[in-house]
């Protein structure tokens, strides 16, 4: 099989497309013929050795995929030929991938492989955030930073579904127009406008109730300042490349709650809530009430281009590799 391989920590352009042996499932595993894999910002960090959990090279990047089951290990209740989606830490950017059977889910009827691959990580991140970590109440103003990216668009969609009012913050008119098309009530170009002042102007003197921040960098502090008293700020990642510092006096004076959400540990931290959240989210996906926006499709040969697109924050919605 062909697979994208990170032989040593590197830039996307240094990845190689290699021929590897077809994988064989061990007990409790399945092998998937990958038809589509989604690109996420942590993939960029992993190949550069910059993620909080390091994977020793060589490895194939990619954490979410969709395709057909072609082999199963002992003890697996999964039929060969089933259309499935799956998540894994690495290994999705390949023609075949072996994964834990517990990480596999059926693809709903009417959903194509690209949509299935693009849904899991970002929509779960956003749903866990807005359902459990910072629950949205009807009428709440929810500020979403990086609102045109994968997690951002998911948060825009889910906040509205839960009754929130969305203020989408992103850079450039093309990204903001996409947010408007997804239903954002208000938009701010945080590279051209004063984010704190615009949040206050749009939401009123009370400020916003929730900030969802997958970006970090220079945008976090003005968004925090735009929160109303008792609001919640959720940090999800640092796509801007800089981990921000927060003056704790702002937290004290406004009674703000600052929380972190990492999808990798959510299930162990919230064992009861993850069951509820997954059931609700899967039903919304199956019913067609949530669908990812796919802003770019690349062949496996151009995986480096796809990763660079995400690394430079050029992506609209999700980027998908067709395999």
Sign of CA dihedral 231, 51, 148, 285: negative
- Which tens digit of pLDDT belongs to each residue from 70-96? 999 999 988 999 999 999 999 999 999
The CATH H-level (homologous superfamily) assignment of domain 121-262 is NAD(P)-binding Rossmann-like Domain (3.40.50.720)
Q: What is the mean pLDDT of residues 237-265?
A: 92
Task: Give the start-to-end residue ranges of the domains of the chain.
Answer: 2-107+293-322, 121-262
* Domains 2-107+293-322 and 121-262 alike in fold: no
Residue 165's H or E segment, with its range, is strand 165-170
- Which tens digit of pLDDT belongs to each residue from 120-158? 999 999 999 999 999 999 999 999 999 999 999 999 999
The hierarchical CATH code for the domain 2-107+293-322 is 3.90.180.10
- Beta strand residue intervals within 23-148, DSSP E: 29-39, 64-72, 83-87, 96-100, 104-106, 141-145
Residue 205 has pLDDT above 80, yes or no: no
State pTM to two decimals. Answer: 0.92
Distance CA 23, CA 30 (A): 10
Which tokens go with 213?
Answer: 């921040």
């Amino acid at each position: 099989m062909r697979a994208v391989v990170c032989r040593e920590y590197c830039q996307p352009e240094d990845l190689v497309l290699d021929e590897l042996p077809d994988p064989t499932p061990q007990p409790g595993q399945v092998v998937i013929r990958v038809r589509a894999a989604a690109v996420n910002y942590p993939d960029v960090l992993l190949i550069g050795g910059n993620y909080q959990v390091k994977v020793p090279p060589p490895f194939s990047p990619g954490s979410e995929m969709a395709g057909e089951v072609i082999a199963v290990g002992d003890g697996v209740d999964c039929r060969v030929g089933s259309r499935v989606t799956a998540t894994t830490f690495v290994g999705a950017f390949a023609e075949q991938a072996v994964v834990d059977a517990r990480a596999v889910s059926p693809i709903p009827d009417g959903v194509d492989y690209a949509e299935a691959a693009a849904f899991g990580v970002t929509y779960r991140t956003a749903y866990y955030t807005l359902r459990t970590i910072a629950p949205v109440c009807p009428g709440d103003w929810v500020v979403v930073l990086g609102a045109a990216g994968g997690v951002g668009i998911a948060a825009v969609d889910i906040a509205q579904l839960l009754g929130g009012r969305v203020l989408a913050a992103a850079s450039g008119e093309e990204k903001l127009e996409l947010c408007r098309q997804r239903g954002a009530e208000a938009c701010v170009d945080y590279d051209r406008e004063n984010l704190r002042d615009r949040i206050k102007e749009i939401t009123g003197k009370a400020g916003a109730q929730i900030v969802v921040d997958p970006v970090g960098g220079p945008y976090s502090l003005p968004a925090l300042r735009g929160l109303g008293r008792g609001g919640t700020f959720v940090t999800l990642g640092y796509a801007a490349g800089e981990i921000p510092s927060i003056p704790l006096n702002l937290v004290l004076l406004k009674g703000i709650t600052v929380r972190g959400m990492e999808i990798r540990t959510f299930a162990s931290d919230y064992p009861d809530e993850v069951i509820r959240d997954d059931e609700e989210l899967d039903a919304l996906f199956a019913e067609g009430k949530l669908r990812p926006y796919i802003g770019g499709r690349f062949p496996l040969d151009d995986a480096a281009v796809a990763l660079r697109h995400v690394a430079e924050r050029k992506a609209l919605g999700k980027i998908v590799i067709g395999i």
